[in-house]
């Protein structure tokens, strides 16, 4: 993007003040911004995890205002376990706990944040001065082996579903074989299974976005080709920049873009940079010291844990906002500006130097502008692309 940067620099000197790029923080606040991946504790909106106060969570209502974040996809995440009837039932119950957390937040703060079930509702709510919550399900596992809970989850507001998490399941192969009580398991199918295709058909019919973050390359490409509507990668990185199992190959990025979809580049430190062995050891040491159960640990303790990891950055530089925008740049150069977006994975391990909580979101805009992106391009990256895809998925379902 240096070409644009140069142009911007030149213009700033010769144009009258009102025609210059406005101060990015003010302008940032006027943008419609979407973060497609915000993990939640099962205790959300109870005493220990109150989204109504400026607290230790990386995302809460005051920080959404501070960072000018308009629309957040709050995540019903369920880990992959063995594909047995008992584990399916437990997965369904865990999903219930996550839905309940989001529903408590919405019930407790109806004047401040509301659920949107489609992009029109989202813009209506924003016009009324509300923040917007949308719901994504991370891992199709709790849907059930015969998709028995899909309709219920749709009715409760789920508008994207990731086909897998870490670990293969009955729907698709994952980018990582971790999962289940047996530990590492081999996939039963390379890519989508017949049930996985059936799931995509029904998601297309209902108007739920298909999410290919966490899937294997074969699953991603097959899903992008099979889906009648554009697909998203709700929180992923670029493999060409850092060879991590969670990152996408060029072929995957091209497949998603060819279908009209969008890749939401994720601010996840250890997916984005080479972590040296001593750095990894130091991180593991902190992990062992805290020995956290993430689903039940207090938000204060999690905050302290994140702080300790961040402090390691003095010794071993972490990924920063520049690294995140490197990943955005790569996708933009490969497939164009209509196919890149932003996600934080806050609450689920996300956060980079300079963007450690949602209140700091204006800094991402600043970096994009400094790289030479135009305002129109930044609007697309910060939410325009995702909202376009959501509207197309919705329109297909309505037809
Ligand atoms: Zn994830």
pLDDT tens string 348-369: 999 999 999 999 999 999 999 9
pLDDT tens string 271-296: 999 999 999 999 999 999 999 888 78
Give 214 Cα–ligand 1 centroid separation in angstroms: 7
Q: Is residue 211 pLDDT above 90, yes or no?
A: yes
How high does pLDDT run on average in the chain? Answer: 91
Give the residue with greater pLDDT, 302 vs 185.
Answer: 302
CA pair distance 101, 345, nearest whole angstrom: 17
Q: What residues contact 157, with CB distance under 8 A and at least 6 apart?
A: 102, 115, 117, 134, 135
Q: What pLDDT sits at residue 337? A: 98
CA pair distance 33, 220, nearest whole angstrom: 26
Q: What pLDDT sits at residue 219? A: 96
Give 6 Cα–ligand 1 centroid separation in angstroms: 37
Q: Is residue 14 pLDDT above 60, yes or no?
A: no
Asked if residue 287 lies in contact with residue 294, where contact means CB atoms within 8 angstroms, the answer is no
Q: What pLDDT sits at residue 123? A: 97
Q: Which two tokens stand for residue 267?
A: 């601010």
Q: What pLDDT sits at residue 47? A: 86
**Distances from the Cα of 211 to the Cα of 56, 165, 197, 261, angstroms:** 29, 11, 13, 10
Give the residue with greater pLDDT, 100 vs 3.
Answer: 100
Asked if residue 353 lies in contact with residue 1, where contact means CB atoms within 8 angstroms, the answer is no
Spans of all domains in the chain: 26-273+318-398, 275-317
Q: What pLDDT sits at residue 48? A: 87
Q: What pLDDT sits at residue 148? A: 97
Give 398 Cα–ligand 1 centroid separation in angstroms: 29
Q: What pLDDT sits at residue 22? A: 53
Asked if residue 118 lies in contact with residue 396, where contact means CB atoms within 8 angstroms, the answer is no
Give 235 Cα–ligand 1 centroid separation in angstroms: 7
pLDDT tens string 65-74: 999 999 999 9
DSSP 30-99: HS--EEEEEE--TTTTSTTS-TTSS-SSS--HHHHHHTT--EEEEEEE-----SSHHHHHHHHHHHHHHH
CA pair distance 275, 288, nearest whole angstrom: 18
The pTM of this model reads 0.92
Q: What pLDDT sits at residue 178? A: 65
Q: What pLDDT sits at residue 185? A: 61
The model's confidence at residue 2, banded by pLDDT at 50, 70 and 90, is very low
Q: What pLDDT sits at residue 176? A: 85
Give 26 Cα–ligand 1 centroid separation in angstroms: 31
In the chain, which ranges are continuous DSSP H helix? 2-14, 24-30, 61-66, 85-108, 119-127, 150-155, 194-206, 217-226, 250-258, 269-272, 277-290, 299-311, 321-335, 362-370, 375-379, 385-398
Asked if residue 392 lies in contact with residue 231, where contact means CB atoms within 8 angstroms, the answer is no
Q: What pLDDT sits at residue 19? A: 42
Give 268 Cα–ligand 1 centroid separation in angstroms: 10
User: How much of the chain, in percent, has pLDDT values that exceed 90?
Assistant: 86
Q: Is residue 395 pLDDT above 70, yes or no?
A: yes
Give 295 Cα–ligand 1 centroid separation in angstroms: 15
β 340-343/262-266 pair status: parallel
The model's confidence at residue 181, banded by pLDDT at 50, 70 and 90, is very low
Yes or no: domain 26-273+318-398 corresponds to CATH 3.20.20.140: yes
Tell which residue, 19, 169, 158, 202, has the closest CA to residue 87.
169
Q: Which two tokens stand for residue 193?
A: 């299974």
CA pair distance 58, 109, nearest whole angstrom: 18
User: Mean per-residue pLDDT for 139-161?
Assistant: 97
User: Mean per-residue pLDDT for 20-33?
Assistant: 80
Asked if residue 326 lies in contact with residue 313, where contact means CB atoms within 8 angstroms, the answer is no
Q: Is residue 13 pLDDT above 60, yes or no?
A: no
The model's confidence at residue 189, banded by pLDDT at 50, 70 and 90, is confident
Give 4 Cα–ligand 1 centroid separation in angstroms: 33
Give 21 Cα–ligand 1 centroid separation in angstroms: 35
């Amino acid at each position: 993007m240096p070409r644009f940067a140069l142009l911007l620099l030149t213009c700033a000197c010769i144009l009258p003040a009102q025609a210059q790029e406005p101060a990015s923080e003010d302008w940032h606040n006027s943008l419609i911004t979407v973060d497609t991946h915000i993990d939640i504790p099962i205790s959300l909106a109870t005493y220990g995890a109150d989204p109504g106060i400026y607290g230790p969570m990386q995302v809460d209502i005051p920080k959404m205002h501070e960072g000018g974040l308009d629309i957040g996809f709050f995540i019903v995440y369920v880990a992959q376990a063995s594909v047995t009837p008992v584990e399916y039932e437990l997965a369904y119950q865990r999903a219930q706990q996550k839905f309940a957390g989001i529903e408590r937040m919405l019930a407790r703060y109806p004047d401040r944040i509301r659920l949107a079930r489609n992009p029109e509702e989202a813009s209506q709510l924003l016009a009324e001065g509300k923040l917007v919550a949308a719901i994504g399900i991370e891992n199709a596992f709790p849907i059930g082996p015969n998709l028995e809970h899909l309709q219920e989850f749709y009715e409760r507001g789920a508008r994207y579903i990731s086909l897998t998490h870490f670990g293969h399941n009955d729907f698709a192969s994952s980018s990582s074989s971790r999962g289940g009580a047996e530990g590492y398991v081999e996939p039963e199918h390379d890519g989508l299974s017949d049930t996985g295709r059936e799931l995509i058909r029904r998601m297309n019919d209902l108007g739920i976005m298909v999410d290919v973050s966490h899937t294997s390359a074969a699953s991603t490409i097959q899903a992008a080709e099979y889906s009648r509507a554009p697909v998203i990668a709700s929180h992923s990185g670029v493999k060409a920049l850092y060879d991590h199992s969670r990152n996408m190959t060029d072929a995957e990025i091209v497949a998603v873009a060819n279908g009209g979809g969008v890749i939401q580049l994720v601010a996840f430190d250890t997916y984005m940079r080479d972590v040296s062995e001593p750095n990894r050891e130091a991180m593991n040491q902190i992990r062992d010291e805290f020995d956290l159960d993430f689903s039940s640990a207090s938000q204060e303790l999690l905050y302290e844990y994140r702080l300790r990891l961040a402090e390691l950055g003095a010794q071993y530089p972490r990924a920063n906002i520049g690294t995140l925008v490197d990943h955005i740049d790569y996708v933009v150069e490969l497939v164009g500006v209509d196919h890149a977006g932003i996600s934080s994975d806050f609450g689920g391990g996300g956060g980079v130097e300079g963007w450690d909580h949602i209140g700091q979101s204006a800094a991402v805009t600043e970096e994009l502008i400094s790289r030479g992106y135009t305002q129109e391009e930044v609007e697309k990256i910060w939410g325009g692309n995702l909202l376009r895809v959501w509207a197309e998925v919705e329109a297909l379902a309505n037809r």
